[in-house]
Amino acid sequence: MKKFDFRLQRVLDVKGIIQQVRERELANALKSMESDELVLVGYKEKLNKYQKELRGKKVTSIFEMRFYYNYFSWLMNLIRIQIGRVAESKKEVEKRKKKLTEAFKEKRVIENLKQRTREEYIREFSKDQMIQSDEIAVSKYFLPGDLSPKISFH
């Protein structure tokens, strides 16, 4: 029996490698998004901490008030910037998910083709085996060079 040989196996292998690359890209994008979200949470916690601290404190000078105002403005600006980064990270994650989904689909198409090709190969092989079995049975039934059956009716 000739071994099953899928002529698009290299294409399937490449699709598998592309899928693995896409999975790593998605994982990296998710890590980046989580990191950006943690930074945002840190800024928000810092802002809340100092706002609470300021509520319990009596500000005595204009310079101290100005300091807190500038600091809170700076933190709020960092938070706005970080919100933008988180939004970009989320878009990147969605983009990577779509690319991974496409890679899965492309690989699946080739895998399905391989399965159908293998099934067709098995059907053809079984058909050939049946023909060979029939030929062996017929050749045993008839004598070489004689077209009459070996069975006599005496």
58 in a structural domain? yes
Spatial distance between the Cα atoms of 96 and 3, rounded to a whole number of angstroms: 38
Give residue 151's pLDDT: 57
Helix axis angle for 62-141 and 9-55, nearest 10°, is 160
96 in a structural domain? yes
**Partners of 122 in the beta sheet?**
none
Block residue for tokens 């919100």: 83
14 in a structural domain? yes
145 in a structural domain? no
Enter the tokens of residue 133.
């079995």
Residue 149, classed as helix, strand or coil, is strand
The distance in angstroms from the start CA to the end CA of the chain is 43
- Count of the separate structural domains present in the chain: 1
16 in a structural domain? yes
The CA-based diameter of the chain, rounded to the nearest angstrom, is: 133
- CATH code at 101? 1.10.287.1700
Spatial distance between the Cα atoms of 115 and 6, rounded to a whole number of angstroms: 9
Q: Tens of pLDDT along the chain (154 residues)? A: 678 889 999 999 999 999 999 999 999 999 999 999 999 999 999 999 988 888 888 878 899 889 889 999 999 999 999 999 999 999 999 999 999 999 999 999 999 999 999 999 989 888 878 887 777 776 666 655 555 555 555 5
Give residue 21's pLDDT: 98
151 in a structural domain? no
Spatial distance between the Cα atoms of 39 and 44, rounded to a whole number of angstroms: 9
59 in a structural domain? yes
Give the domain range for residue 92: 9-105
Nearest to 5 by CA among 114, 124, 127: 114
125 in a structural domain? no
Give residue 20's pLDDT: 97
